[in-house]
Amino acid sequence: MMGKIILTGDRPTGRLHIGHYVGSLRRRVELQESGAFEKIFIMIADAQALTDNADNPEKVRQNILEVALDYLSCGLDPKKSTIFIQSQISELTELTFYYMNLVTVQRVQRNPTVKAEMLLRGFNDTEGADNKAGTPVGFFCYPISQAADITAFRATTVPVGEDQEPMIEQTREIVRKFNATYGPVLVEPDILLPENSACLRLPGTDGKAKMSKSLGNCIYLSDSAEEVAAKVKGMYTDPGHLQVSDPGKVEGNTVFTYLDAFCRPGDFERFGDCFKGRKSSFEFHDLDEMKAQYRAGGLGDVMCKNFLTAILNDTLEPIRVRRKALEQDIPYVYEVLREGSDKARELAADTLADVRRAMKINYFDPEILDELVREQSEKYANA
Ligand code: ATP
Ligand code: MG
> Which ligand does the CA of 215 lie closest to?
1
pLDDT value for 132: 60
Q: Per-residue pLDDT averaged across 268-281, rounded?
A: 94
DSSP single-letter state for residue 102: G
The protein residue with its alpha carbon nearest to ligand 1, atom 30, reads: 23
Q: How far apart are CA 341 and CA 337, in angstroms?
A: 6
pLDDT value for 130: 56
Q: Is the pLDDT of residue 43 over 70?
A: yes
Is ligand 1 within 6 A of the CB of residue 201? yes
pLDDT value for 131: 55
120-174, pLDDT tens digit by residue? 888 887 665 555 678 999 999 999 999 999 999 999 999 998 899 999 999 999 9
Which runs of consecutive H residues, i.e. helices, occur in 82-164? Answer: 91-99, 105-109, 112-121, 137-140, 142-152
202-248, pLDDT tens digit by residue? 999 999 778 988 788 999 999 999 999 999 999 989 998 989 999 99
As a whole-number percent, the residues of the chain with pLDDT over 70 amount to 98
77: left (phi over 0), alpha (psi -120 to 50) or beta: beta
What does each C-alpha distance from 206 to 217, 234, 236, 237 come to in angstroms?
6, 8, 6, 9
Q: Are 60 and 328 in contact (CB under 8 A)?
A: no
> Which ligand does the CA of 21 lie closest to?
1
316-346, pLDDT tens digit by residue? 999 999 999 999 999 999 999 999 999 999 9
78-104, pLDDT tens digit by residue? 999 999 999 999 999 999 999 999 999
Q: What's the angle, vertex CA 8, arms to CA 51 and CA 354, rounded to 5?
A: 85
* CA trace torsion 262, 263, 266, 267 (10° rounding): 90
**CA 184 / ligand 2 centre spacing (Å):** 31
Q: Are 64 and 85 in contact (CB under 8 A)?
A: yes
**CA 367 / ligand 1 centre spacing (Å):** 46
Q: How far apart are CA 259 and CA 267, in angstroms?
A: 10
Burial of residue 64, with CB atoms counted within 10 A of its CB: 0-12 exposed, 13-18 middle, 19 or more buried: buried
344-368, pLDDT tens digit by residue? 999 999 999 999 999 999 999 988 9
6-38, pLDDT tens digit by residue? 999 999 999 999 999 998 899 999 999 999 999
Mutate to test the pocket of ligand 1, among 10, 168, 206 (most ligand atoms within 8 A of CB): 10
pLDDT value for 128: 57
Instruction: Kindly report the average pLDDT of the chain as a whole number.
Output: 94
pLDDT value for 125: 72
Is ligand 1 within 6 A of the CB of residue 15? no
